[in-house]
A and B are shown apart, each in its own frame.
Chain A
Amino acid sequence: MSSASSSFIDRRTIIDWLGIVPFMIFAMMFLIIPTLYLVTGAFFTADGQFTFKNIADLFTPTILSAYWISIRISLASSLGGALIGFFLAWAVVLGGLPSWIRSGLLTFSGVASNFAGVPLAFAFIATLGRTGLVTLFLRDWFGFNLYSTGFNLLSFFGLTITYMFFQIPLMVLILTPALDGLKREWREASESLGASTWQYWRMVGLPILWPSLLGTTLLLFANAFGAIATAYALTGASLNIVPILLYAQIRGDVLHNPNLGYALALGMIVITGLSNILYIWLRMRAERWQK
């Protein structure tokens, strides 16, 4: 602590900082620099001239429609996942169900939220595909042809319903602790003041929960937006969503401009980044009530 030993302190400080050098080199090499390379590349032409043309080129019909479908699928699956997930989490926390249902649901959610990618696509093809279990069941027992209604698994609706398989469990996992944080006293206080269930939820429960609810929905949105494996296995390259377009671009430069590919990646980072920043901000607000 004394100033006489300042050279000793300096050496110690240097050793302190040396300890995280391996991690920092790793993060730089495999996370930060690759990302920055794409982000900066989005603002240059192939010959190294600064330009906004790549960004402007994102606003062409093909790319714009890819972003639009991606956003719609992510939004629909995150809202659907949030709604059903909330309902399920509410049921096990406040619905007065036996406790084994709660632990069962949480365990299953841990598994299902990690069951994504290619196998998930297979599961839904086997269920709702043209010869899937549900499709055949509806046809043989009710004479109802699912595919004559215009339903198609390889579409906006099909992908949304498939994505919800990992979205709902994620919502359950994040929201259960938040619902546990709703204190019994608040409920009792509002009841003794004569509030109905509806009034309690509208004026106490939901105002406390909305940062968690909205924040988790945003997390689910980003989660769906970056997902590719399920969509690719389900639809091949036929559905024009951003991750699949980027995949095709990386494989074979389908946009005929490598730097436009960087701009496409930048667009993805901006969208998932914004929703994550909002999520973190909302979570900080939500944690005020969980102390």
Chain B
Amino acid sequence: MKTSKFLAWLAIAIGVIYFFIPLLGTFEFSLRMRRGEYSLDAYGSVFSDVQFQQTFGFSILMALFTIVFGMLLVVPTAYWVRLRLPQMRPVLEFITLMPLVIPAIVIVFGYLRLYNSSSYIPFTGSIFGTNVLLVMSYITLSLPYMYRSVDTAMRTIDVRTLTEAAEILGAKWPTILFRCIFPNVMSGVLSGAFITFAIVIGEFTMASLLDRPAFGPYLQLVGANKAYEPSALAIIAFAITWLSMGLLQLVSRFSKLAPSKA
């Protein structure tokens, strides 16, 4: 028993060394901008960069659109399949897993061939169209996470009874969907939203190949041209990821508490 405890601590020690040294290294590097002393100059330089503000704002906007439209697509579909088409669930599970199987670069390659400016649906022919395509590509990327979190949340509520109760009280479909189903699966919607945010905010492949001024390509550009700013950006990106995941945990903890109260 004693050796196993020693080995367990050893494993944790290795893990801590492997995971914390890069973070420490990055942080230390980000402070080195001023010669001979530590300073926050690199962060100042990052935050005052107009391009940082623009690309970061653009990516946040894209993430919000992805979350809103993705959820408007996923929640009604997951609801409908549970209520009326249970035989389609395996098909839906399969489709929503596909973005994990097909690399993002392959998907975007297909878009560029299929929706170029000389095709029937020329998404990439205009800036607006390309932005729409980018949001669609992000919805595709986050489909596995959104669908699974919403479907898990739906498992805990009785969709059929809720729907029948609402119908008896005279509710129409939009009311049932937005005032009855959505609030009840809010925990799933929120956890899907946070993970989507974490994925979309620094996404590189799609944005770069669709040529949109997003945060991911900006990070790459800074990395190729500057010395200390990339580390500061890496720390910022890590903080954002940590924040999204922290909020996700908070939400799932609350949703676990909720049924026990009822």
Contact = CB atoms under 8 A, between A and B. Distances in A.
Given A31-B98, A34-B114, 20 more contacts: A16-B80, A19-B76, A19-B81, A20-B88, A30-B140, A31-B107, A87-B14, A95-B11, A97-B5, A97-B12, A110-B249, A111-B242, A119-B237, A122-B230, A123-B26, A124-B22, A127-B29, A164-B18, A247-B105, A273-B102
Contacts of B23: 123
Given A37-B113, A117-B216, A127-B26, A30 B204 contact: no
B245 A107 contact: yes
A222 B195 CA distance: 20
Of listed A33, A114, A164, A246, residue having the most chain B CB within 10 A: A114
11 contacts: A23-B74, A29-B136, A35-B110, A91-B9, A91-B12, A96-B1, A115-B237, A122-B219, A228-B105, A246-B105, A276-B100
Nearest to B85: A16
Interface residues of A, number: 77
Given A23-B73, A118-B220, A265 B106 contact: yes
A88 B102 contact: no
Contacts of A229: 203-205, 216, 220
A95 B29 contact: no
Contacts of B198: 114
Interface string B83-109: 011001000100101111111111111
A177 interface: no
B21 interface: yes
Interface in A74-92: 84, 87-88, 90-92
B196 to A, nearest CB: 11
B234 interface: yes
B220 A247 contact: no
Interface in B31-88: 73-74, 76-77, 80-81, 84-85, 88
Q: Which 10 A-B pairs have the closest CB atoms?
A: A95-B8, A34-B110, A226-B103, A127-B25, A133-B25, A126-B29, A229-B204, A119-B237, A91-B8, A91-B11
Interface string A1-39: 000000000000000110110110011011111110110
A20 B85 contact: yes
Contact of B80 (A20, A128, A164): A20
B163 interface: no
Of listed B12, B102, B244, residue having the most chain A CB within 10 A: B102
A119 B18 contact: no
A168 B18 contact: yes
Given A126-B30, A226-B104, A272-B101, A246 B88 contact: no
Nearest to B4: A95
A197 B4 contact: yes
Given A132-B29, A133-B24, A228-B204, A110 B248 contact: yes
A165 B29 CA distance: 19
B204 A117 contact: yes
A232 interface: yes
Contacts of A154: none
A285 to B, nearest CB: 18
A101 B13 CA distance: 11
A134 to B, nearest CB: 6
Contacts of B81: 19-20
A181 interface: no
A33 B73 CA distance: 19
Contacts of B233: 119, 122
Contacts of A108: 19
Interface string A58-86: 00000000000000000000000000100
A80 to B, nearest CB: 10
A126 B26 contact: yes
Contact of A247 (B73, B199, B209, B249): B209
A94 interface: yes
Contacts of A16: 80, 84-85
B209 A251 contact: yes
B67 to A, nearest CB: 15
A255 interface: no
B187 interface: no
